[in-house]
Amino acid sequence: MPELKRQIGLRTAAALVVGEVIAVGIFLTPAGMAKQLGSPMWLLIVWLAMGAMALCGALCYGELAARYPEAGGGYVYLREGFGPAVAFMYGWMAFLVMDPGLTAALAVGLATYAGYIVNLTPWGTKLLAIATIVAIALVNIRGVRLGAWFVRALMFLKLGLLAFVILWGIVFQLGDWSNFTPFVARHPNSPPLLGALAGGLVGAFFSFAGWWDLGRLAGEVKDPARALPKALTLGVIVVTIVYILTSLVFVYLVPLDQVTTGETFAAQAGEVLFGRAGGLVFSSIVVVAVLGSLAAVVMSAPRVYFAMARDGLFIPAVAAIHPRFETPAFAIALQASLASVLVLVGTFNDIISYFVFVVIVFVALTVVALFRLRRRSAANAGYLTPGYPVTPIVFLALIVLLLVLLGGNNPKQAFLGVAVVSLGLPFYFLVFRTRGKATYDVD
């Protein structure tokens, strides 16, 4: 059976992490965090804490990727750690809900901001979103090198624009450093600190979400045992620095007591930076940021279904590699088609919200799998998690805290998400169990 070729280098792998993680949230999340926390110091602490958490997780995923450098990412790690049934439920959720839903949400977000610039109608926004999905899918079908170049170019453009915004505001002294005082004390009208920290951590976590998807492309990364851990680590560090610097310049431009919503916060900052044209300039930057994230998702997501099909747990045609372009073309086209349908239906945001809890559960299970795999063999991994077992324990402790906060805030959403994903289990046993190409031994 033909295999995917290893054509992705370290720089592109790191660009995929940065490109997927940094999207529209960089402009909206700091506002909610700043308003709740009411103190520049606490805002900095939350970003550093979440950056440290993401780094711990990235180090764990680095070892998993080095152990199993093949397409599929979390699906493969769950398969090896817990068996094909758990891995199938992850893939079931990714294919039916999260991947097409996230793709649709990003595409519509991009089209909405573009529509603000060129005054699109609601149907024009939908058509632009679908056209963007199809265009990126065609780029990725055409070849891994072309898709990787596209993601890398967008990542550098995105970081360049953010650096321009930061330097423009500071060099021309468009803000006021007194906005950082008091640095430690919280503003009088701030909500209770414990609740504010909980909300801030949840918001920051979602701003970092997606770094774990790099493993899905492990089958196409050159020298994966070296490149994947480095790319994950470098990507998370860059994202953390960008979030801190962007939040810093936003607070410098807009006093905390004037923060209302994320959109208003970004508009205020844009007006201070660029006058009345601030909204248009910021909308253009958001379009670039979201396009980079969308390109990374469209590139990585289909590799999960490709890996499932190779194991006999999905439609066999999805396992095919295009004879000329050497890409999983059918898997890419299938994911793009589902996302386009969701754009037309328009209910993807509600759908995604019901499955966020389950996604985090699977991320936690993936790191738990590292303990099981280490128990079998710590040698010959090519890369071992620094600080093990403290590193995964710290990550899992913070994940459990996050799950408690999410589940307590909306138990109905969490329960329904888990219930729908659990429906994949009988489907696996009735349809795919006997078709799997191998039996996986799980201790």
DSSP 191: P
d(CA 114, CA 271): 18
CATH number among 3.40.640.10, 1.20.1740.10, 3.40.190.10, 2.50.20.10, domain 10-435:
1.20.1740.10
> Does the structure show a pLDDT above 90 at 431?
no
DSSP characters for 373-397?
Answer: HHHH--SS-SS--TTTTHHHHHHHH
Degrees (nearest 5) of the Cα angle 95, 98, 100? Answer: 65
For 141-193, the pLDDT digits (tens) are: 999 999 999 999 999 999 999 999 999 999 989 889 998 988 998 888 888 98
Residue written as tokens 């199993």?
Answer: 68
> Does the structure show a pLDDT above 50 at 441?
no
Which pLDDT belongs to residue 141?
96
Which pLDDT belongs to residue 439?
41
Which pLDDT belongs to residue 295?
95
Which pLDDT belongs to residue 379?
63
> Does the structure show a pLDDT above 80 at 348?
no
Model confidence, pTM = 0.91
Which pLDDT belongs to residue 353?
79
> Does the structure show a pLDDT above 70 at 262?
no
Which pLDDT belongs to residue 436?
54
Domain boundaries, the chain: 10-435
> Does the structure show a pLDDT above 70 at 256?
yes
Q: What are phi and psi of 15, to 5 degrees?
A: -65, -35
Structure tokens at 225: 């045992």
Task: Please name the amino acid found at residue 25.
Answer: G
3-state DSSP assignment of residue 95 = helix
Given a contact cutoff of 8 angstroms between Cβ atoms, the answer to whether 78 and 365 are in contact is yes
The distance between the two most distant Cα atoms of the chain, rounded to a whole number of Å, is 67
As a whole number, mean pLDDT of residues 29-41 equals: 86
End-to-end CA distance of the chain: 29
Sign for the CA dihedral angle at 229, 157, 285, 336 comes to: negative
Which pLDDT belongs to residue 263?
64
For 391-408, the pLDDT digits (tens) are: 999 999 999 999 998 888
Which pLDDT belongs to residue 443?
44
Tell me what the pLDDT averaged over the chain comes to: 89
3-state DSSP assignment of residue 261 = coil
For 188-242, the pLDDT digits (tens) are: 888 898 888 988 888 899 899 999 999 999 999 999 999 999 999 999 999 999 9
